[in-house]
Amino acid sequence: MTLNPADPPFLTALRADLPEAAFRAPEPRYLEEPRGRWAGQAAAVLAPGSVEEVSTILRHAHAARVPVVPYGGGTGLVGGQISAEGPTPLLLSLERMRAIRSVHPEENVMIADAGVILSDLHEAAEAAGRLFPLSIAAKGSARLGGLLATNAGGVNVLRYGNARDLCLGLEAVLPDGQIWHGLRRLRKDNAGYDLRNLLIGSEGTLGVITAASLKLHPQPAGEGTALMVVPDPRAALSLLALARMHLGEGISAFELLHRAGLEFLAETMPETRQPFDTMPDWFVLIDIGLARGLDPATALETLFAEALEAGLVSDGMIAQSEAQRAAFWTVRETIPEANRRIGSVSSHDVSLPLGAIPDFIVKGAEVLAGIGDFRINCFGHLGDGNLHYNVFPVAGRSRADHLDDRDRIKRAVHDLVHEMGGSVAAEHGVGRLKVEDLERYGDPAHLAAMRAIKAALDPAGIMNPGAVLRGP
């Protein structure tokens, strides 16, 4: 089935059915992506102001077989928002749909348009005395629709789940223009197939999310943060188990960090204050939020004392103020920027069964040693089994020296992850970057079902063609 470009007659027909405000020039910012890997194309950028306008656009596109690429904040790391080939698409930006439609503090629910920026969701929840816990580095520009379409994760997944777990209902437009009014505020609803979770994580290939009903949480009464030095990743896992015994669901984040991250900070941002006098090989950042009646600092001290006795930690710092908490988090959040400045040869967003992580780290280093001499910065959301496994040149060399190694490294790391029961698309999704990986590592029955579902819901194949599944 062939697609057609969004040519002038098509755009003229669209203009007849849409207000002028819905049309945007295809400025360069819409056609770039953070990794600089793709240059996108678009015949027009459409910024509809309502779900009805989204429906109008998709009806036209469906009838004319014109591709549509949904666009949120443009922060995706796998090229899901960029169409670089095929007939010129429409780019459909949700940027004008940015209302918080309603907040229901007594229900712990908030309903928001897909174009709302994540940090605005945080503020709206906070204004109602509640917490919207989804948090990622790009929170100042990522929009709700994209966060849901990619099932975003971030630092609080351990406690609150990913975007999927924070969504109660959706309003969305299906590829033929039908509007699904599914903005329910219900915690239990078994009336039919789970279309919500099918659209979440489908990266714009099955429809356009226009609004969502979101779960809010109580704000923890007290929060605390600690850095603890662990002898190795296996001890970090045991420390996580111990922390769970102590603190139950109170652990908001449990991040594993490696010496390489601190070295990269020292190398690229020497002005950043180092947390330790002597850089440890491995350490963890633990963030907790507790209900009334427990003091977070005391709870972390008790945990530390027991972990010290058990040989799981050798050193540690417990934040004594909000400023110190923020400083600990700055270390964690600055490492990705330090990575960028060093320039990775290859970076991997992978997840593994928790128990397999220590072995994976050992085997990964062995596999890479067989390819060449590299520095590895392996860090991430240990509590979720989600590692950012990034490979860098040794000091004095640059990524340009290793262009020929990239594919080999990627294949070796991904093969290892797959063998150990992991996922090579843990948190950032498939986009256009990992379509071949999905074909290689995906379960054949799962892929067959995905293709059948795609053909059933989007028979013309207009929605984000080439993302997730190979294009027509």
The CA-to-CA distance between both ends of the chain, in Å, stands at 7
The answer to whether 187 contacts its own copies (rule: CB under 8 A) is yes
Q: What is the CA radius of gyration of the chain?
A: 23
Structure tokens that stand for 102 in this block: 């309603």
**Interface residues for its own copies in 407-446 (CB under 8 A)?**
421-430, 434, 437-438, 441-446
The answer to whether 457 contacts its own copies (rule: CB under 8 A) is yes
The answer to whether 369 contacts its own copies (rule: CB under 8 A) is no
Instruction: Give the span between the Cα atoms of 332 and 262, in whole angstroms.
Output: 9
339 alpha carbon, distance to own chain's centre:
18
| φ, ψ for residue 243, nearest 5 deg | -60, -35
Give me the helix-helix angle, 406-419 and 357-369, nearest 10°.
Answer: 150
Compute the least distance from the CB of residue 152 to its own copies, in Å.
Answer: 9
The answer to whether 359 contacts its own copies (rule: CB under 8 A) is no
Site string (310-329) toward its own copies, x via CB under 8 A: --------------------
Site string (107-136) toward its own copies, x via CB under 8 A: xxx---------------------------
Helix or strand holding residue 58 (H, E): helix 51-64
DSSP symbol at 278:
S
Structure tokens that stand for 37 in this block: 């890997």
The answer to whether 156 contacts its own copies (rule: CB under 8 A) is no
- Compute how many residues bind its own copies; rule: CB under 8 A: 98
The answer to whether 244 contacts its own copies (rule: CB under 8 A) is yes
15 vs 446, beta carbon nearer its own copies: 446
**Interface residues for its own copies in 247-266 (CB under 8 A)?**
247-250
The answer to whether 275 contacts its own copies (rule: CB under 8 A) is no
Structure tokens that stand for 456 in this block: 């059933």
The answer to whether 280 contacts its own copies (rule: CB under 8 A) is no
**Interface residues for its own copies in 89-108 (CB under 8 A)?**
104, 106-108
Place of tokens 């090229």: 79
91 vs 387, beta carbon nearer its own copies: 387
**Interface residues for its own copies in 193-222 (CB under 8 A)?**
193-195, 197-198, 200-202, 206, 218, 220-221
Question: Which of 6, 18, 44, 157 lies at the binding interface for its own copies (CB under 8 A)?
Answer: 157
| φ, ψ for residue 461, nearest 5 deg | 70, 30
Contacts of 242 (CB under 8 A, 6+ apart): 303, 306, 307, 310, 312
